[in-house]
């Protein structure tokens, strides 16, 4: 984090400074500098760090203040005064709000010199992959800050912003939401120069209350942009395309449609990735071998290329960066090719109907002599009233895609199994297991050389660990 005095930080978050036994004297709070990393996880605190104690759904961060102090915290932000604390504490009404206020001010100060460019990324699917691609491209241009994992909510996004330093040139902010208004909150913290919207789908539809609420929430990315900003929008998604009417920003289109400004053509999908021709608005084009498995990830690559083009990154540098990325992220189309001839595609970190269908289509495209395609599928969570219908739809689609073997794990995905077995033309190809352990015991004996196996579910279903076990077993 940038240098702030203890007094400045207290005023920024609207708190009250309480000094510990061995802390600075009150009169020196305006000269005492704090600039350590900020975190809400006591395990991540390092000497000089700032620990923000936030109440949680299942625990209370205030219980972990002693652990943060033991790890070297110089300051804690709390919602109540803690006794017998030897370091300063800033007491605030709401620690998550305080985190956001601090992030907003840090971004504002760094932006004041005009060198920082902020990129905001949202969408029902593809945010983390696109964020990683943008980061890879921009790291070659200057100091770049981007989230780790999927730090994209009201806590994770400001924690990322607080990693900015005075010399940071780019901030890549992934912005997710579980209800309307959350993206607006994050946009107003970071004030993106470039706002990217990837797609609008049924991910989290149960929380939002339907696709229209999802559309309304994702549109928040572009409604606050000003005329000097750029909205990078997916031409292929008609819901995203409609956002052009909701923003004052300039529009840069990306997509597979030949009318898009940044587009891909001549796609060739293989088990080692997708080859395509990338074309920029200037008319320049180049062939790209994109190693991230799945044609659907080409759209994410186009979004990243559109951001880079807006920031005047040359085509050659864009291509080099895209070709250097070999996986989307841990547990996202992560390929483990074993010495026993079994290939595991572990894509079980997130699952929505759109991403499930994209993963299954990728599996279906992988064909050749001796290849048997196997799908191990779990629940798509957070679909609410749409859950039964969407699991049923995916189950029937698997049959139509011609995937030879399906294993369904967990009660939440039972409708998927029933739909597949009822679709007809199959005879025992779909097998249901209540637990991942039961599935593993059968899979360990059944998988054979030449099999390509997709493991796909929402994070809550835990199948990513089953994918890891299978990867270790057959690697």
Query: Which percentage of the chain shows pLDDT scores above 90?
Result: 68
In the predicted model, is pLDDT for residue 360 greater than 90?
Answer: yes
Residue of 424, 296, 268, 279 whose CA lies nearest to 358: 296
In the predicted model, is pLDDT for residue 426 greater than 70?
Answer: no
In the predicted model, is pLDDT for residue 304 greater than 60?
Answer: yes
**Helix, strand, coil percentages, rounded to 5, for the chain:** 40, 20, 40
Whole-model pTM? 0.85
CB atoms within 10 A of CB 181: 11
Q: Which two tokens stand for residue 354?
A: 């759109």
Query: Which percentage of the chain shows pLDDT scores above 70?
Result: 94
At 188 the pLDDT is 95
Least confident of 18-27, 66-75, 180-189, 385-394: 18-27
At 307 the pLDDT is 98
At 206 the pLDDT is 54
* pLDDT-based confidence at residue 425 (cuts at 50, 70, 90): low
**pLDDT tens, position by position, 231-245:** 999 999 999 999 999
In the predicted model, is pLDDT for residue 310 greater than 50?
Answer: yes
Helices (H), 277-384: 296-310, 315-324, 353-365
In the predicted model, is pLDDT for residue 89 greater than 90?
Answer: yes
Least confident of 93-107, 131-145, 208-222: 208-222
In the predicted model, is pLDDT for residue 163 greater than 50?
Answer: yes
At 241 the pLDDT is 97
Helix (H, G, I), strand (E, B) or coil at 77: strand
Distance CA 263, CA 324 (A): 20
Residue set of the binding site: 123-129
Q: How many CA atoms lie within 13 A of 412 on its CB side?
A: 20
Residue set of the binding site for ATP: 123-129
The mean pLDDT value for 128-149 works out to 93
Contact 375, 463 (CB under 8 A): no
Q: Is the dihedral of CA 371, 376, 382, 383 positive or negative?
A: positive
Helices (H), 112-225: 127-139, 156-161, 182-190, 205-208, 211-223
In the predicted model, is pLDDT for residue 168 greater than 70?
Answer: yes
| Integer angstrom CA distances of residue 65 from 15, 19, 80, 99 | 18, 15, 12, 16
| Integer angstrom CA distances of residue 67 from 41, 90, 171 | 10, 17, 30
At 386 the pLDDT is 86
In the predicted model, is pLDDT for residue 23 greater than 50?
Answer: no
At 103 the pLDDT is 97
At 311 the pLDDT is 98
**Mean pLDDT for all residues in the chain:** 90
Distance CA 426, CA 6 (A): 68
* pLDDT-based confidence at residue 302 (cuts at 50, 70, 90): very high
In the predicted model, is pLDDT for residue 203 greater than 60?
Answer: no
- Name the CATH architecture for the domain at 334-474: Alpha-Beta Complex (3.90)
**pLDDT tens, position by position, 113-123:** 888 999 999 99
Assess if CATH 3.40.1390.10 describes domain 4-93.
yes
Distance CA 177, CA 88 (A): 33
Write down the residue that tokens 């352990």 correspond to.
Answer: 437
Could you tell me the fold of the domain covering 107-324? 3.40.1190
Complete edge-to-edge strand list for the sheet that includes strand 230-234: 144-145, 170-174, 117-122, 194-197, 230-234, 250-255, 262-270, 273-279, 285-290
At 335 the pLDDT is 84
Contact 455, 447 (CB under 8 A): no
If 0-12 CB within 10 Å is exposed, 13-18 middle and 19+ buried, where does residue 470 land?
buried
The mean pLDDT value for 215-241 works out to 96
Locate the domains of the chain by residue range: 4-93, 107-324, 334-474
In the predicted model, is pLDDT for residue 337 greater than 80?
Answer: no
């Amino acid at each position: 984090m940038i240098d702030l005095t203890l007094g400045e930080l207290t005023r920024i978050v609207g708190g009250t400074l309480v000094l510990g036994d061995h802390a600075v004297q009150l009169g020196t709070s305006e000269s005492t500098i704090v600039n350590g990393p900020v975190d809400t996880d006591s395990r991540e605190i390092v000497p000089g760090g700032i620990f923000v104690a936030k109440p949680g759904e299942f625990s209370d961060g205030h219980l972990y203040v002693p652990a943060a102090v033991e790890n070297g915290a110089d300051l804690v932000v709390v919602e109540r005064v803690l006794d017998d604390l030897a370091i300063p504490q800033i007491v605030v009404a709401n620690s998550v709000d305080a985190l956001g206020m601090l992030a907003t001010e840090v971004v504002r100060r760094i932006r004041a010199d005009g060198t920082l460019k902020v990129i905001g990324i949202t969408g029902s699917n593809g945010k983390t992959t696109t964020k990683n691609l943008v980061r890879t491209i921009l790291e070659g241009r200057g100091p770049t800050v981007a989230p780790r994992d999927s730090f994209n909510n009201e806590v994770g996004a400001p924690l990322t912003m607080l990693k900015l330093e005075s010399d940071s040139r780019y901030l890549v902010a992934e912005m997710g939401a579980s209800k309307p208004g959350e993206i607006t909150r994050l946009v107003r913290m970071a004030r993106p120069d470039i706002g990217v919207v990837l797609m609008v789908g049924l991910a989290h539809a149960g929380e939002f209350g339907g696709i229209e609420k999802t559309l309304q929430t994702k549109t928040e990315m572009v409604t606050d942009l000003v005329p000097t900003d750029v909205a990078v929008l997916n031409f292929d998604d008609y819901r995203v395309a409609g956002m052009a009417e909701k923003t004052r920003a300039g529009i840069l289109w990306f997509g597979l449609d030949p009318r898009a400004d940044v587009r891909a053509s001549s796609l060739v999908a293989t088990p080692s990735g997708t080859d395509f021709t990338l074309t920029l608005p200037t008319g320049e084009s180049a062939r790209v071998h994109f190693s991230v498995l799945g044609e659907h990830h080409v759209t994410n690559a186009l979004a990243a290329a559109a951001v880079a083009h807006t920031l005047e990154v040359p085509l050659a540098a864009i291509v080099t960066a895209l070709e250097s990325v070999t996986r989307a992220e841990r547990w996202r189309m992560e390929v483990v090719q074993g010495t026993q001839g079994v290939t595991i595609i572990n894509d079980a970190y997130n699952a929505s109907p759109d991403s499930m269908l994209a993963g299954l289509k990728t599996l279906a495209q992988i064909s050749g002599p001796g290849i048997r395609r196997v799908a191990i599928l779990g629940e798509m969570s957070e679909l609410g009233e749409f859950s039964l219908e969407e699991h049923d739809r995916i189950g029937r689609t698997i049959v139509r895609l011609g995937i030879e073997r399906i294993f369904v794990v967990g009660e939440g995905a039972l409708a998927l199994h029933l739909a597949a077995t009822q679709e007809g033309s199959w005879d025992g190809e779909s097998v249901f297991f209540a637990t991942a352990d039961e599935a593993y015991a059968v899979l360990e004996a059944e998988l054979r050389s030449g099999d390509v196996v997709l493991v796909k579910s929402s994070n809550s279903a835990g199948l990513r660990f089953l994918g890891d076990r299978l990867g270790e077993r057959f690697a």
